[in-house]
Amino acid sequence: MTTARSDHGRQDAPELPAGTTVEELERLCIRFAVEAGRFIRDERPPRMGVAATKSTETDVVTVMDRRSEELLHRLIQQARPDDGILGEEGADVAGSTGLTWVIDPIDGTVNYLYEVPAYAVSVAVVVGDARTEQGWAPVAGAVADPSLRLVHHAGRGTGARTRPEGDLDVAATALTVSGEDRLARTLLATGFGYAPEVRARQADVMRRVLPRVRDIRRIGSAALDLVRVAEGSVDAYAETGLNAWDLAAGWLIVEEAGGVVVGAQGRPGKELTVAAGPALVEQVRTLFTDGTPD
């Protein structure tokens, strides 16, 4: 099973297991993301519990993270028992089909903990080895925004859309990235890591970047930042330290909205993820890699 590549590293239509379609996978992504999104919104305890920390004391794992991931596992295994699962909280499942579900049960956990209405559930299906930086590509994905009761979704070759959560019969709104082509007029979204030394490096980068763009937004959810690029409510997004579950669904949504998603050298990933329209993406990448855009 292979995928072809086109300009800027964009993945073209994948080869899927016999009897499986992109449209079917996209519908499942929507359903799973919406169900988990409703769960974390409607079942949120009035006094949120912190179950553990991940990398630092500021990087929390809530009880609801784990419960949301358990729900997603059940839904995926009921519908696609032979597929693999890769999730942020580490309860991974090996598959035999060449397809892996890459899930973030709550993206924007700190926002969720503090009741800031900017968190999401991200669900994607990828081909290849999602445990490596280079060996996978998304074929369908959905990002549920429980606070706004919306779901944003895409399939490879089907376009990117937003619709009210859970209602596939309601007409969807097609997404299109910003046409901005000048760095000085760019509204740039970004995010910061949790480790103090990482934050210090990112602060140094921001001191260089901020004078060169219109303004910067730090929302706290990589999945929603990528959706905002896709819908054109920000012009570009750049961040270091992203994992597969942070970017898989949003990456595809941006590309299907006419945007480009790249990394420092090629594919997006931990070293750097940049998303923007075609006229802007290289300017932003250059700004974050060497600080001297044309």
The answer to whether the CB of 178 falls within 8 A of the CB of 234 is: yes
Residues 260 and 118 in one domain: no
Residues 169 and 220 in one domain: no
In which domain, by residue range, is 209 found? Answer: 183-289
Q: Extract the runs of DSSP E, i.e. beta strands, from 57-177.
A: 60-62, 84-87, 99-107, 120-128, 136-145, 150-155, 159-164, 173-174
pLDDT in tens, 281-292: 999 999 988 754
Residues 13 and 130 in one domain: yes
pLDDT in tens, 224-255: 999 999 999 999 999 988 999 999 999 999 99
Residues 157 and 88 in one domain: yes
pLDDT in tens, 92-140: 888 889 999 999 999 998 899 888 899 999 999 999 888 887 789 999 9
Question: How would residue 31 be classed by pLDDT, with cut points 50, 70 and 90?
Answer: very high
Residues 189 and 169 in one domain: no
Between 146 and 44, where is the model more confident?
A: 146
Residues 17 and 158 in one domain: yes
Residues 151 and 20 in one domain: yes
pLDDT of residue 55: 62
Q: What's the structural domain count of the chain? A: 2
Residues 216 and 127 in one domain: no
Residues 162 and 187 in one domain: no
Given 174, 194, 210, the domain boundary residue is: 174
Residues 166 and 39 in one domain: yes
Query: Is residue 30 included in any domain, yes or no?
Result: yes
pLDDT in tens, 167-212: 777 778 999 999 999 999 999 999 776 666 767 777 777 788 888 9
The CATH number covering residue 11 comes to 3.30.540.10
Residues 142 and 85 in one domain: yes
The CATH number covering residue 253 comes to 3.40.190.80
pLDDT of residue 282: 95
Query: Is residue 121 included in any domain, yes or no?
Result: yes
Query: Is residue 294 included in any domain, yes or no?
Result: no
SS3 string of 129-149? CCCCCCCEEEEEEEEEECCCC
- Give the bridge partners for 62, in sequence order: 50
pLDDT of residue 105: 95
pTM: 0.89
Quick one: the chain helix, strand, coil %, rounded to 5? 35, 25, 40
Given 140, 174, 208, the domain boundary residue is: 174
Residues 27 and 156 in one domain: yes
Query: Is residue 75 included in any domain, yes or no?
Result: yes
